[in-house]
Amino acid sequence: MLVVVTIIALFAALVAPRMMGQADKAKRTQARAQIESFMTALGAYKLDTGTYPTTDQGLNALRVKPENQPQWAGPYLPKDIPFDPWGRAYLYKYPGEHGDEPDIISLGADGQPGGDGNNADIVSWSNQ
């Protein structure tokens, strides 16, 4: 019996860290996919209206018609704007600081700007 418990403990010690690493990788992949989905919807929004939503209008403009936007033909997303995989709202800024498109940011696992690994920001202007 003691041998079986030892084998199970060793198995758990070896497998658990790898499984946790996969969960973190999946969250980062999910955040990147959501940002890409937002960018696609924002492209459709711009085709209809001639501009991107302002920072104040935010991503919510993809679901709810902003005031003074008669060409709006949305909603541009089928569901409400999701939180990032860590349960926080995505940051949206237009005009952005990284080109002609809006900036969309998930602050990663720690919820703070910058960081490395799982704490690194996931951003719309970079595929890293």
pLDDT for the residue numbered 5: 73
Domain assignment present for 17: no
35: CATH: 3.30.700.10
pLDDT for the residue numbered 52: 96
Domain assignment present for 10: no
User: CA 55 → CA 58, 60, 93, 94, 95, distances in Å?
Assistant: 5, 10, 5, 5, 7
- Does the pLDDT of residue 85 top 80, yes or no? yes
Over residues 22-35, mean pLDDT: 89
Domain assignment present for 46: yes
Task: Note the pLDDT tens digit of each residue in 94-114.
Answer: 998 888 899 999 999 888 898
Distance CA 37, CA 77 (A): 8
The percent of residues in the chain predicted with pLDDT above 90, rounded, is 59
Domain assignment present for 3: no
Domain assignment present for 102: yes
E strand residue ranges, the chain? 91-93, 103-106, 122-123
- Does the pLDDT of residue 14 top 90, yes or no? no
pLDDT for the residue numbered 21: 62
Domain assignment present for 62: yes
Q: Which residue segment(s) compose the domain that 55 sits in? A: 28-123
Domain assignment present for 70: yes
Domain assignment present for 8: no
Q: What is the pTM of this model?
A: 0.80
pLDDT for the residue numbered 3: 76
Number of domains composing the chain: 1
